[in-house]
Amino acid sequence: MGVNNRKFSRDVQSPGLADSAAGAYTAQLNGITRNRKATKTRMADPDAMLVYELMKRRGDEEAHHKAILNTLGVLYKGLNEADSNKLTAHLKAQGSIGNNILNLINMPKDAHISIHQITKGLGHEYHPTQKNNLRGFQQDLVDASEMPLEYRMHIGEQYMKTAVSEMRNDIDDLLTAHPSMQEKLDMSGVRAAQALKDAAEGK
């Protein structure tokens, strides 16, 4: 299995997580908010409920990789397992990668399409089928894939610090302008859970 494969990129960057970004996001969100559901012996945790309501998928939203999966995947070309692990550790030290929930953000479908158009235009997103008209980090990453590990780590770090930061600003702009961001969230369950907690604590 080679670096042109999305599954390879996911496995090497975030082993053990679900294949799809959406599945990985949902599973991790459910894990960190498991106390949002009341049981016979436990009240629902209003904080967990709040996190879930703020972060869950809505409408036609799709999970987007902030550090783009296949773009970083090209750096692993020809590496053995030990060097792949070193590269992954180095990239993780710069920020979240792969299908880690901190590298994923839910975006309305049209905004998701727009961000990929922007990132490709900036040269911040590379697809393995792209052979010509490489620019910016597209060219840097492809060139680095033929170089020793240390250079790949350097280029990967620059990508994380520069490109991912710039793309995050573009994501913020797209989401701020999107009509769905004006929709009110239903926080009634959170308020009810908080009221029960306050009553139990005598507040």
Per-residue pLDDT of 72-124, as tens digits, reads 999 999 999 999 999 999 999 999 999 999 999 999 999 999 999 999 999 99
Q: Is residue 1 part of a domain?
A: no
Contact 97, 103 (CB under 8 A): yes
| Residue 27 CB neighbours (<10 A) | 14
- pLDDT digits 0-9 by tens, 160-180: 999 999 999 999 999 999 999
Tell me the pLDDT band of 1, cut-offs 50, 70 and 90. very low
Structural domain includes residue 16: yes
Does residue 179 belong to any structural domain of this protein? yes
Residue 130, pLDDT score: 80
**pLDDT for residue 184 is more than 60:** yes
Structure tokens of 55? Answer: 């972060």
pLDDT-wise least confident of 98-102, 155-159, 190-194 = 190-194
Q: How many domains does the chain have?
A: 1
In a domain, 184, yes or no: yes
- Could you list the residue range(s) of the whole structural domain that residue 132 is in? 6-200
Tokens representing 78?
A: 């020809």
In a domain, 155, yes or no: yes
Strands annotated E in the chain: 62-65, 104-107
